[in-house]
């Protein structure tokens, strides 16, 4: 192999209703990327039990995410859509990566520190601490080269690169002997690598969608107020109500992006409009600069309803009879397992396990 074959991987957790932030920050990117890339998209159900072990309707949540993928435009025949637990090689590689990674690396992860809460660190699951090893395995079990991520996942992707680099260096002679590596350069250092240095795909006018009730907080499934987010299952009336009630400030919209500084709610709504319309914030402000929110919000409502309603309708149709979704997940799982097992056979050979 002279180079790593380009491959895009990403996943979404089946926890709570998908919302506008998930769509703009992830699923919409997934759809766009499939035009020019080989893509694998996963419902990461193993991750869903790291913070909360028992779920009332895990199967329903998994199917809902898969339905959102399909309704948004992902083609499960040209690409792969599956649920993570259907491919046991994810967990197998994650264990190996647990032995590659260092505890200090895991403890420095911002999300772990936020969720463990310092004094409560001894009470959280080991899975929450080891979460980034499983995320690295999700990506690298397919030797994926690119991952579309939001700003909050950049640190985990950097850790994935650290794990890949340490594995490549520790097993360098084994990789060369196995004949399955690729000559790459990391920084200025030549490395004969089995795993690629994964690159993040971050971009778009709204890479991070904020709460409709507080522009300084990320839009979240776990927010106590349903008014803080637009769910992909919301009907047109509910979308309209939430945008009308969205927090703003008394000033008119500025004519330039610089004028959004210090106005988080205004910046959030402009960013949402820009992302939904595939335009830049500058283009939106050129159109609405000087206008009050009483003018801007109705325009945003019309745009959001036009973009989201077809997706919502198709999700509902798919969830009314889940046999089609289940068939897609089974087919995707079989195809994903075949790819993942090829990697694991080579990894076992590199490590020296008897097969």
Q: Which residues are catalytic?
A: 115, 218, 221
**CA pair distance 120, 110, nearest whole angstrom:** 15
CA nearest neighbour of 32 among 160, 208, 203, 152:
203
The token pair that represents 166 in the structure block: 């340490």
Q: Is 50 helix (H, G, I), strand (E, B) or coil?
A: coil
**What string of DSSP letters covers 205-267?**
S-SSPBPSS-TTSB--TT-S-GGG--BTT--HHHHHHHHHHS---SSPPPSSGGGGTT-HHHH
CA nearest neighbour of 68 among 334, 332, 319, 275:
319
Q: Is 81 helix (H, G, I), strand (E, B) or coil?
A: strand
Q: What are phi and psi of 11, to 5 degrees?
A: -145, 160
Q: Is 171 helix (H, G, I), strand (E, B) or coil?
A: coil
CA nearest neighbour of 145 among 40, 32, 69:
40
For residues 87-107, b (16+ Cβ closer than 10 Å) or e, as one string?
bebbebbbebbbebbeeebbe
């Amino acid at each position: 192999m002279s180079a790593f074959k380009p491959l895009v991987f990403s996943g979404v957790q089946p926890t709570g209703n998908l919302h506008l932030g998930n769509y703009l920050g992830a699923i919409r990117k997934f759809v766009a990327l499939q035009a020019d890339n080989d893509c694998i998209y996963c419902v990461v159900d193993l991750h869903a039990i790291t913070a909360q072990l028992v779920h009332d309707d895990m199967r329903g949540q998994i199917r809902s995410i898969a339905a959102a993928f399909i309704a948004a435009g992902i083609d499960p025949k040209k690409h792969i859509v599956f649920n993570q637990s259907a491919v046991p090689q994810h967990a197998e590689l994650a264990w190996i990566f647990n032995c590659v990674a260092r505890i200090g690396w895991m403890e420095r992860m911002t999300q772990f520190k936020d969720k463990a809460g310092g004094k409560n660190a001894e009470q959280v699951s080991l899975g929450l601490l080891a979460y980034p090893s499983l995320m690295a395995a999700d990506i690298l079990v397919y030797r994926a080269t690119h991952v579309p991520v939001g700003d909050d996942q950049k640190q985990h992707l950097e850790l994935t690169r650290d794990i890949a680099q340490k594995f490549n260096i520790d097993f360098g002679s084994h990789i060369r002997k196995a004949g399955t590596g690729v000559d790459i350069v990391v920084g200025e250092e030549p490395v004969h690598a089995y795993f690629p240095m994964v690159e993040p795909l971050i971009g778009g006018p709204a890479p991070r969608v904020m709460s409709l009730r507080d522009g300084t907080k990320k839009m979240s499934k776990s927010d106590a107020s349903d008014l803080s987010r637009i769910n992909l299952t919301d009907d047109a009336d509910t979308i309209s109500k939430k945008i009308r009630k969205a927090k703003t400030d008394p000033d008119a919209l500025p004519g330039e992006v610089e004028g959004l500084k210090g106005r988080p709610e205004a910046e959030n709504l402009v960013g949402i409009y820009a992302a939904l319309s595939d335009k830049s914030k500058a283009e939106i402000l050129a159109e609405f600069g000087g206008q009050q929110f009483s003018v801007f919000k109705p325009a945003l409502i019309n745009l959001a309803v036009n973009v989201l309603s077809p997706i919502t309708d198709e999700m509902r149709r798919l969830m009314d009879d889940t046999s089609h979704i289940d068939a897609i997940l089974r087919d995707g799982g079989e195809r994903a397992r075949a790819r993942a097992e090829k990697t694991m056979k080579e990894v076992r050979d590199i490590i020296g396990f008897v097969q």
